[in-house]
Amino acid sequence: MNIDPREMRQVAAAIAPRIDMYAGIHKALRALMADTLLALGRMDHDDGLELAQTTQRVLELLEFCRAHLQHENDFIHAAMESRAAGSSGRIAHEHHEHVEAIDALADQTTALLQCAPALRAERTLALYRALSVFIAHNFEHMHVEETAHNAVLWARFTDAELMELHGALVASIPPEEMMFVMRWMVPFMNPAERTAMLGDMRAHAPAPAFAAALDVVRPHLSEREWAKLAASLGLSAQW
């Protein structure tokens, strides 16, 4: 059977996976959002320490969301607009709404921490519900980015260009934020993604940064998951 080489190239191009800048970080966001919401739902609001720790986690989530959408605006939307004007419009508009929602939720969280003990039960439930609606919007929003935005990026950029863009975005992230990303991203990836992520980090980051990332990740993996990761990276027994 003769197959036209041009057709073969087209089929190969359609099958070959493209660079997906959203996949890993959005797994991290979904995990962090779900975990924080569940923590708030089970919080003992009469326990001052637990109240302080859980509201702090909500504030951390909100700050992470703020930083994340800023990275997307600065790098991904700017790149999309440079080659497909208007292509990031809907999501950019939603980012404006998210910033307003983040501000309101942060105020609501601080107010809960400072309110009279008699009001805590009611205010905790109100914050839990408001946060769940925010997270629901974000889950749908991320899906649009992973489908419609990726379609634009894949149509207008080569994989080499996308890797360069992603590299520039990652290079702009301060070390402290990067460790927070590792903590929430790597444990909630599948084994192949974990190996690719950490293998890349070992190749490009200083050795102490790689070691710190392993230390951050390990407590959140099961023994079996850790054994697979260590074997795939060829880590010696010292780990």
Q: How far is the CB of 239 from Fe ion (least distance, A)?
A: 35
Q: What is residue 85's three-state secondary structure?
A: coil
**Rounded distance between C-alpha atoms, residue 29 and residue 51, angstroms:** 22
Looking at 20-28, 72-80, 216-224, 230-238, which segment touches Fe ion (CB under 5 A)? 72-80
Rounded to the nearest whole angstrom, what is the least distance from the CB of residue 229 to Fe ion in the complex? 29
Mark the segment that binds Fe ion (CB under 5 A) among 29-37, 69-77, 108-116, 203-211: 69-77
The residue among 68 and 183 lying less far from Fe ion, judged by its C-beta, is 68
CA distances from 96 to 90, 153, 233 (A): 10, 22, 41
Nearest-approach distance from CB 95 to Fe ion, in angstroms: 6
72 binds Fe ion (CB under 5 A): yes
Site size for Fe ion, by CB under 5 A?
1
Span interacting with Fe ion, options 58-66, 67-75, 154-162, 205-213, rule CB under 5 A = 67-75
> What is the total residue count of the chain?
239
Tokens of 235: 């880590």
Q: Which two tokens stand for residue 169?
A: 């975005």
Q: How far is the CB of 21 from Fe ion (least distance, A)?
A: 11
Between the alpha carbon of residue 135 and those of residues 12, 16, 31, 32, 38, the distances in Å are 37, 32, 11, 10, 12
Nearer to Fe ion, 146 or 225 (CB): 146
Apex 231 CA angle, 229 and 234, nearest 5: 110
Query: Interhelix angle for 48-71 vs 89-114, to 10°?
Result: 160
Which residue's Cβ has the minimum distance to Fe ion?
72
Nearer to Fe ion, 91 or 201 (CB): 91
Beta strand extents in the chain (DSSP E only): none
Segment contacting Fe ion by CB under 5 A, of 70-78, 101-109, 146-154, 221-229: 70-78
The gap from C-alpha 213 to its chain's centroid, in whole angstroms, comes to 16
Q: Which of residues 140-179 bind Fe ion (CB under 5 A)?
A: none
The residues of the shown chain that bind Fe ion, judged by CB under 5 A, are: 72
